[in-house]
Amino acid sequence: MKHISMTPFGRQPVTAGLLAARALAEAPAPQDRADKWALLRDLTAARGAYGVSDRDLAVLAALISFHPRAELTDDAQLIVFPSNASLSARTHGMPESTLRRHLAALIKAGLILRRDSPNGKRYATRGASGQLARAFGFDLRPLLVQAGEIAAHADTARNTQARMRDLRTSITIHLRDAMKLIAWGRNQISACWDQLTEALTLMQRHLRRKLDATHLERMQRAAFDLVTRITDLIPPETTQTSANDSQNERHLQNSIPDSHESESCTEDARDKAKPATDPATRIPLGLVLKAAPDLADYAPGEIRTPRDLLDTAHRLRPMLGIGEETWHDACRIMGPEPAAITLACMLQSVGRIANPGGYLRNLSHRARRGQFSAARMVQALLRAERTCPG
């Protein structure tokens, strides 16, 4: 059906944008049909490219609902002509003044076109057979003409949103690691922790803002650099003994699970000798799991506490072919939790360990002489994991 209404009703003048929109509506459609609701979903994702708001799209959804078919087809009547009262009812009582504003935004964006009657009313005339002869209202054909372009914009927008979610996840993990490493490092060595904490706080504050992908990529690099700076400040093996260390060690020994192997380790550690102080006892559990994520595959449930860590180590020990005596010696010499952390790190590198039992015995002998700490293994794995930004 050809339409002759090329000028707007009332005082609204003809503009270049209006003529361009009408030319677009008269152009051949690249595809002869499109699912109207799928098209609306794509347009919702791509609304930024067209400069329309969610309220504008709510009005467009109401307009589309007046089209009787599920698809917009190039050979069918694509003009809808609801009254203001009907349109308001389908937009949940939106006032007419607000409706006019959103309709104008949709027309300006080139998504719909107004086909005005001589008196500005919306209506349709029918022929003798009952078929529509002419309709005046809002033409949906611009949507069909631009369906492919809208879908392309939607794919771009969805990919950008997915990338931004990934960037935010990566930044959050880096900042969490930085926070825990700073908390741990303050108790290990003297360094510029206040300055690093200030940088961390500033990044956390910026992350709360609505940032685009470019800003998030820069922030991801900065967060990675911050973690690298902190990691480089911490020596591979920190050996610092104090009364607090002894208290922490005794506390960790008392938190062993109530199992036969745990009790044996506790009795050996209490009756034979106190384990050597290992700064690994103060490593946050989250960092241990960050360094040795494969451990979670052997846990009966989520690893949340030192007790869960030790439970998992007891389950893992026979799977690695480590005998009970070797394990008990490790618990006695290193302490139960450092021994469990050592086992977790061994699991992460098991492909490079020919004899896990002999390897653990060697580490126990070195720990007895003060030449080994599980902290060193954790830091080595963290450094290896950070060889490239997440």
pLDDT digits (tens, 9 = 90+) for 83-99: 889 999 999 999 989 99
Q: pLDDT category, 188, cuts 50, 70, 90?
A: confident
Please state, in angstroms and rounded to a whole number, the distance separating the CA atoms of residues 131 and 80: 15
Residue 164: what pLDDT?
A: 92
| Average pLDDT taken over every residue of the chain | 79
Contact indicator for 329, 270 with CB cutoff of 8 Å: no
Query: Greater confidence, 174 or 126?
Result: 174
CB 330 within 8 A of CB 365: no
Pick left, alpha or beta for residue 270 (phi over 0 → left; psi -120 to 50 → alpha; otherwise beta). alpha
Give me the residues paired with residue 138 across strands: 80, 114
Q: Does residue 176 carry a pLDDT above 50? A: yes
Q: Average pLDDT of 220-245? A: 69
Q: Would you put residue 228 in left (φ > 0), alpha (ψ -120 to 50) or beta?
A: alpha
Q: Is the pLDDT assigned to residue 121 strictly greater than 80? A: no
Query: What angle do the packed helices 260-271 and 324-334 form, to 10 degrees?
Result: 50
Q: How confident is the model at residue 154 (pLDDT cuts 50, 70, 90)?
A: very high
Q: Give the pLDDT confidence of 245-278 residue by residue, as tens digits.
A: 334 333 333 333 333 333 333 334 333 434 445 5
Share of the chain above pLDDT 90, in %: 25
Q: What is the mean pLDDT of residues 15-37?
A: 72
Averaged over 136-151, what is the pLDDT? 90
Supply 129's token pair: 């057979």
How much of the chain, in percent, has pLDDT values that exceed 70?
76
pLDDT computed for residue 134 by the predictor? 75
| Cα-Cα-Cα-Cα dihedral sign, residues 354, 380, 348, 374 | positive
pLDDT of residue 12: 58
pLDDT at 150 over 50: yes
Contact 46, 161 (CB under 8 A): no
Helix (H, G, I), strand (E, B) or coil at 283: coil
Say if residue 280's pLDDT is above 70.
no
Written as one letter, the residue type at 281 is T
190-213 pLDDT, tens digit per residue, is 888 888 888 898 898 888 888 888
Residue bearing the bigger pLDDT, 118 or 196:
196
Residue 227 scores a pLDDT above 80: yes
Q: Taking 80 as the threshold, does the pLDDT of residue 234 lie above it? A: no
pLDDT on residue 350:
82
Burial 152-175 (b: 16+ CB within 10 A, else e): ebbeebeeeeeebeebeebbeebb
pLDDT of residue 22: 64
Q: Look at phi and psi of residue 274 and say left if phi exceeds 0, alpha if psi is from -120 to 50, else beta.
A: beta
Residue type, 329: D
Q: What is the pLDDT of residues 317-365, one digit of tens each?
A: 888 888 888 999 999 999 999 999 999 999 888 878 888 888 999 999 8
pLDDT given at position 195:
87
- Please answer whether residues 113 and 141 qualify as being in contact, where contact means their C-beta atoms are separated by less than 8 angstroms: yes
Pairwise pLDDT comparison (187 vs 317), residue with the higher score: 317
* The predicted structure's pLDDT at residue 130: 63
